[in-house]
Amino acid sequence: MKLTIITPDKLAYDGDVTSVTVPGSSGSFQILKDHAPIVSTLDDGKVIIQSNGQSELVITIKGGVVEANENIITILAEGITEE
C-alpha cells in the first residue's frame, strides 16, 4: 500500500506500508491491504506505520482527515507534533 501524510507546511511521509493505525474521531482503527474505501476525520494522536511487517514508525498528528481507496492512503494532517 502507498501512504502519504501531508501537512500545510510539508510532506511528512511518503512510502510503501503494510499497515497504518490512525486516531479516528470515534476511536483508533487500522488500515490493511484491500481495506474498504473510507474517509474519516482524525483526532490528535499517533499514526502508527508498519512496513516490511516489522519496522514501526510513529508520527503524532494534530487532527486531520484520512482517505483510503484502492490501497492508496492519504492523511491530511493539521500539523505534526515534534517529540
Q: How many CB atoms lie within 10 A of CB 37?
A: 8
Fold of 2-81: ATP Synthase; domain 1 (2.60.15)
pLDDT along the chain (83 residues), means of 10: 96 96 96 96 97 86 97 97 73
Reported pTM = 0.93
**Residue extents of the structural domains in the chain:** 2-81
Q: Which three cell numbers stand for residue 39?
A: 474517509
What pLDDT sits at residue 28? 96
